[in-house]
Amino acid sequence: MAENLIGFNEAGAEQYKKIAREVTRQMQNETPHRARWQQSRGGGGSERIWFMIDSVECDIYTGAKTLTVIPTWFTGGCTAAIPGEDSYGYVEIEDVCSTLSFFTAEQLLGGTGSATRMYPRTGTCEPKWLVDDICVVPECA
């Protein structure tokens, strides 16, 4: 590590060196003694689907859209059950980032897109499918 860290005064440089030593020490520990962020069990992977939009529900108060879709591709395999899939093969997808705000329901119908299944870090730990991408081009007004 450089003796003179650019942008740090002497006290800041010493603090930075101390943190770097501690991180290095923790990374060299055996697994049970490592920091929490080092103990990833791995193997999880994310669940993702590509879909065709069957219907669109618009909240008249917030403008939020919920899609009812037919999955066409799934990372879990060809015959695996898709989490959240109803008995007719449909899945509901939410748009928490207003990705769909530039589209009317009519523009979205029959379109395709992708979604990832996510768990919230607050509130109830109920996973939801969230819109990633949408393959629909809005028409000019």
Are 127 and 59 found together in one domain?
A: yes
Range in 35-39, 101-105, 136-140 the model is least confident about: 35-39
30-87 residue pLDDT tens? 555 554 444 444 445 689 999 999 999 988 888 789 999 999 999 998 899 999 999 9
pLDDT at 86: 95
Q: Please check whether residues 54 and 97 belong to one and the same domain.
A: yes
Residue 13 confidence (pLDDT) above 90 = no
Q: What domain range includes position 18?
A: 1-40
Q: Is residue 100 part of a domain?
A: yes
Same domain, 70 and 97: yes
Q: Are 88 and 55 spatial neighbours (Cβ–Cβ below 8 Å)?
A: no
Are residues 32 and 54 part of one domain?
no
Specify the number of domains making up the chain.
Answer: 2
61 & 104 share domain? yes
**Is the CB of residue 95 less than 8 Å from the CB of residue 43?**
no
Pair 58, 119 in one domain: yes
CA distances for 4 relative to 19, 23, 24, 118, angstroms: 16, 20, 20, 44
Percentage of residues in the chain having pLDDT higher than 70: 70
In a domain? residue 91: yes
Give the pLDDT band (50/70/90) at residue 28: low
Among the listed residues 75, 76, 64, the one whose alpha carbon sits nearest the alpha carbon of residue 105: 64
Cα–Cα distance between 83 and 74 in angstroms, integer?
10
Task: Please check whether residue 141 lies inside any domain of the structure.
Answer: no
